[in-house]
Each structure stands twice: as C-alpha cells, then as structure tokens.
Amino acid sequence: MYFCNVKTDRNSFTEENYLKAIHKLSRINPKGVSTNAIAGAMETKASSVTDMVKKLALKMLINYKKYQGVTLTEKGRKAAVSVVRKHRLWEVFLVDNLGFKWDSVHEIAEQLEHVQSEELVIRLDRYLGIPQYDPHGDPIPDSDGNITHHKDTCLSDLKVNQVAVVVGVKDSSSSFLQHLEKMKLVLGASVKVDEIVDFDKSMSICISDGLPVSISEAVAKNLYIKR
C-alpha cells in the first residue's frame, strides 16, 4: 500500500463489501470493529484488511487509528446502507417477481447490490411497492439511509405456552432456510411453545396450530419473533 486515489467518488465492489461488513459488525461492536472481525466476515486475511482500512480511511469512509479498530464515518455509513438497501430490494424482486425461493437469492443479490444507478434504485423500489422488509425479514433502509430495526426477541427467549409470530431469521444461510422451510417455519407463521427441554434447551413448538415439533436451541436462537 503505497499510494491512493482519493479523487474517486465511487467505491469498488471490494470497498463496498468491506463497508457492508463493517456496518454489520458495528451493530455488535459499536465502539470499534477489529481487524480480525472484518477478516472473518470477509473471509480474507487480517493483513489484507489492514491495507483496505487504510484506503477507506483515506477516502474518509471510516475512522481508523492503528490498533484501535474502525468505525464508519457518516459518509461511510451512507455508502454501506445504500448497498444494503440495494441488496434487500433485489432480494424482494427475485422472490416476489421472479419466483425464487428465499434460500437462493442471497448470492445473486450479492452481485446485484453493486450495480450503480440512483435512478434504478428509485424505480425498483417503486416497482416493488416500497417494501419494508426483505424475504428474510430484514428491514430495507429508506432512501435517506434510515433503518428501523424490529428484530429484538428470539424464539429462544419465549417461555412455555407463550405465542408469537416469526418475523425474521438471523442466519440467512441456504441450509438453515431450507431446514426451516421443511418445517413450514416461514415468515408470518405463528408459533406456540409447547415444552422446553431443560437438558439441551431444545423446544417443542406448535407451528401455525399444527402438531408439536422439536427444534434445537440453535434454531430457536436464529429466529426472530414478535409477540
């Protein structure tokens, strides 16, 4: 890392992916995201991250001081949220309009999110009916960059006999989503806690008034619900 082209206003695919990762990690670690955390999220090495954060800092997208971790600047936050907005809008399009299943849209959206055109985002948003949530229940940022997080309680927080509605998933991996689908544990489904096994914290639940089925603690912890 010798020199840097600060004059460019546009960010590369890679830069956008770093910003998105930092933005996501900031929610867990608001005081500063560590180099290692970013490397983990980006599936790259810490040394590569160090190079990149230097560049992002030069472009005034993040605050970075050696060994201190990084935080997004307002400019960086805007850029990150814009990518998230595009990602989630495209996921809605793929599921609602093209008929994709919710477990196979993430990878494609990962590419579509980098298409550059203000006009396109505005028109797509309107075309889709200004949706508030993506197919996994994640909130879609508005055009000003505001996000309203509604996911607070997990299915694992419920007690026996409590009732709720599934509103989101924490893990969006294909394997997890397919597993949920098999049990008809999809967004909008109602759940009632039938029993909690003390030994392994697994739950027996009734999905949409069906017969009780058992789910592991891992599943319960990755499902967001609304009471």
Q: Does residue 44 belong to the site contacting DNA (CB under 7 A)? A: yes
Task: For residue 121, count other CB atoms closer than 10 A to its CB.
Answer: 17
* CA–CA dist 80, 23 (Å, integer): 6
How many angstroms separate the Cα of 138 from the Cα of each of 135, 171, 199, 208?
7, 11, 32, 22
Q: Residues touching DNA: how many (CB under 7 A)?
A: 31
Query: Which amino acid is located at 218 in the chain?
Result: A
Q: Does residue 46 belong to the site contacting DNA (CB under 7 A)? A: yes
* CA–CA dist 207, 9 (Å, integer): 49
Q: Which of residues 57-116 bind a copy of itself (CB under 8 A)?
A: 94, 97-100, 104, 107-108, 111-112, 114-116
Q: Which does residue 66 touch among a copy of itself, Mn ion, DNA, none (CB within 5 to 8 A, set by kind)?
A: DNA
Q: Which does residue 106 touch among Mn ion, a copy of itself, DNA, none (CB within 5 to 8 A, set by kind)?
A: Mn ion
Q: Which does residue 107 touch among Mn ion, a copy of itself, DNA, none (CB within 5 to 8 A, set by kind)?
A: a copy of itself
Contact in structure between 191 and 164 (CB atoms under 8 Å): yes
Contact in structure between 225 and 167 (CB atoms under 8 Å): yes
Taking the complex as a whole, how short is the minimal distance between the CB of residue 31 and Mn ion, in angstroms? 26
Q: Does residue 117 belong to the site contacting a copy of itself (CB under 8 A)? A: yes
Q: Which of 31, 66, 126, 227 binds DNA (CB under 7 A)?
A: 66
Q: Residues touching a copy of itself: how many (CB under 8 A)?
A: 19
Query: Which amino acid is located at 20 in the chain?
Result: K
Stated length of the chain: 227
Nearer to a copy of itself, 29 or 117 (CB): 117
Q: Does residue 178 belong to the site contacting a copy of itself (CB under 8 A)? A: no
Question: Residue 137, Cα to own-chain centre: how many angstroms?
Answer: 9
The alpha carbon dihedral of 22, 28, 32, 37 has a sign of negative
Q: Which of 29, 60, 68, 120 binds DNA (CB under 7 A)?
A: 68
Angle ∠(137,147,208) on CA atoms, nearest 5: 20
Q: Does residue 72 belong to the site contacting DNA (CB under 7 A)? A: no
Contact in structure between 201 and 217 (CB atoms under 8 Å): yes
Q: Does residue 12 belong to the site contacting a copy of itself (CB under 8 A)? A: no
Q: Which of 4, 6, 60, 120 binds a copy of itself (CB under 8 A)?
A: 120
Kindly list the residues in this chain that would bind a copy of itself in the complex (CB under 8 A).
94, 97-100, 104, 107-108, 111-112, 114-117, 119-120, 123-124, 127
Kindly list the residues in this chain that would bind DNA in the complex (CB under 7 A).
1-5, 12-15, 34-37, 42, 44-55, 64, 66-69
